[in-house]
Structure 1
Amino acid sequence: MRSLSGKTILFFCPTFFNYEQEIKKALEDFGATVIWYDDRPSNNFYSKAVIRVNKNFLKNKIRRYYNEILDKNKDQKFDYLFFVNPESISVEILTKMQGLFPDAKRILYMWDSFKNRKQNLELLPLFNSMYTFDREDSISYNLKLRPLFYINTYGKKEDSSPKYELLFVGTAHSDRYTFVKKFCESNKLNNVKLYFYLNSVLLFFLKKLFDSSFKKVRYEDVSFTSLSHSEISSMMQQSKIVLDINHPKQIGLTMRTLETLGMQKKLLTTNKDILNYDFYNPANILLVERESPLLTEEFQKIPFEPLDLGTLFKYSISGWVSEIFELI
Structure 2
Amino acid sequence: MNNRNSQKVLIVAPFAFGYTAHIKNALDKFANIEANILYLDKPSFEYRNNFHKARNFISKIFGKNLKKTFVFDRVKKDVSALAKQNIIFVIRPDLLNDDTLKFLKNKTEKFIAYYYDSTRRFPRKVDIIPFFDTIYSYDKLDVNTYSFEFLTNYIFDESKNKSPKYLFFNISTNDYRFPLIETLAGYFKRKNWSYNIQVYNGSDMPAEHVKIITTQKSITEVSELIKASKIIVEIQRTEQVGLSFRIFEALGHRKKLITTNKDIVNYDFYSPQNILVVDEHDIKIPDEFVNSPYVEIEDSILTKYKIEHWVKAIFNP
TM-score by length of 2: 0.84
Decide which of 123, 144, 147 is 1:142's aligned counterpart.
Answer: 147
Alpha carbons of structure 1 residues 259 and 242: separation in structure 2 relative to 1, 3 Å: same
In the TM superposition, what is the alpha-carbon distance from 1:21 to its structure 2 partner? 1.8
Is contact 1:183-1:294 (8 Å) kept?
A: no
Match of 1:225 in 2: 215
Match of 1:21 in 2: 21
In the TM superposition, what is the alpha-carbon distance from 1:18 to its structure 2 partner? 1.1
Alpha carbons of structure 1 residues 42 and 233: separation in structure 2 relative to 1, 3 Å: closer
In the TM superposition, what is the alpha-carbon distance from 1:127 to its structure 2 partner? 1.1
Match of 1:99 in 2: 106
Higher share in strand: 2
Q: Alignment partner of 1:305: what SS? A: coil
Partner Cα separation in structure 2 for residue 96 and residue 234 of structure 1 = 40
Could you list the runs of 5+ residues in structure 2 that have no partner in the other structure?
45-61
Match of 2:263 in 1: 273
In the TM superposition, what is the alpha-carbon distance from 1:40 to its structure 2 partner? 4.7
Is contact 2:10-2:89 (8 Å) kept?
A: yes
Decide which of 31, 54, 72 is 2:81's aligned counterpart.
Answer: 72
In the TM superposition, what is the alpha-carbon distance from 1:87 to its structure 2 partner? 4.0
Partner Cα separation in structure 2 for residue 42 and residue 119 of structure 1 = 25
- Paired AA for residue 157 in structure 1: K
Aligned runs of 1:22-61 on 2, under 5 Å?
22-31=22-31, 32-40=33-41, 48=64, 51=66, 55=67, 58=68, 60-61=69-70
Aligned runs of 1:281-320 on 2, under 5 Å?
281-320=271-310
Q: Alignment partner of 1:290: what SS? A: coil
Aligned runs of 1:121-160 on 2, under 5 Å?
121-152=126-157, 155-160=158-163
- Paired AA for residue 124 in structure 2: Q
Aligned runs of 1:231-250 on 2, under 5 Å?
231-250=221-240
In the TM superposition, what is the alpha-carbon distance from 1:8 to its structure 2 partner? 1.0
Is contact 1:90-1:123 (8 Å) kept?
A: no
Partner Cα separation in structure 1 for residue 236 and residue 118 of structure 2 = 12
Partner Cα separation in structure 1 for residue 129 and residue 259 of structure 2 = 31
Is contact 2:115-2:137 (8 Å) kept?
A: yes
Higher share in helix: 1
- Asked if residue 172 in structure 1 is aligned to residue 150 in structure 2, the reply is no
Paired residues, number: 293
Could you list the runs of 5+ residues in structure 1 that have no partner in the other structure?
206-215
Partner Cα separation in structure 2 for residue 313 and residue 291 of structure 1 = 35
Partner Cα separation in structure 1 for residue 123 and residue 279 of structure 2 = 28
Q: Alignment partner of 1:186: what SS? A: helix
Aligned runs of 1:205-216 on 2, under 5 Å?
none
Moved more, 82-91 or 269-278: 82-91
Q: Deviations over 1:92-125 (max 9, x none)?
A: 2222332343xx2111111111112212222211
In the TM superposition, what is the alpha-carbon distance from 1:189 to its structure 2 partner? 4.0
Is contact 1:39-1:86 (8 Å) kept?
A: no
Alpha carbons of structure 1 residues 185 and 222: separation in structure 2 relative to 1, 3 Å: closer
Decide which of 122, 125, 130 is 1:120's aligned counterpart.
Answer: 125
Larger relative contact order, structure 1 or 2 (CA cutoff 8 Å, min sep 6): 1
Partner Cα separation in structure 2 for residue 41 and residue 167 of structure 1 = 29
Match of 2:198 in 1: 195
In the TM superposition, what is the alpha-carbon distance from 1:222 to its structure 2 partner? 2.1
Query: Runs of 4 or more off by more than 6 Å in structure 1?
Result: none
- Paired AA for residue 285 in structure 1: I
Is contact 1:116-1:249 (8 Å) kept?
A: yes
- Paired AA for residue 187 in structure 2: S
Partner Cα separation in structure 2 for residue 38 and residue 319 of structure 1 = 23
Match of 1:12 in 2: 12
Question: How much is the aligned-residue C-alpha RMSD, in angstroms?
Answer: 2.5
Match of 1:208 in 2: none
Partner Cα separation in structure 2 for residue 197 and residue 317 of structure 1 = 27
Is contact 2:185-2:197 (8 Å) kept?
A: no
In the TM superposition, what is the alpha-carbon distance from 1:230 to its structure 2 partner? 3.3
Match of 2:59 in 1: none
In the TM superposition, what is the alpha-carbon distance from 1:296 to its structure 2 partner? 0.9
- Paired AA for residue 137 in structure 1: D
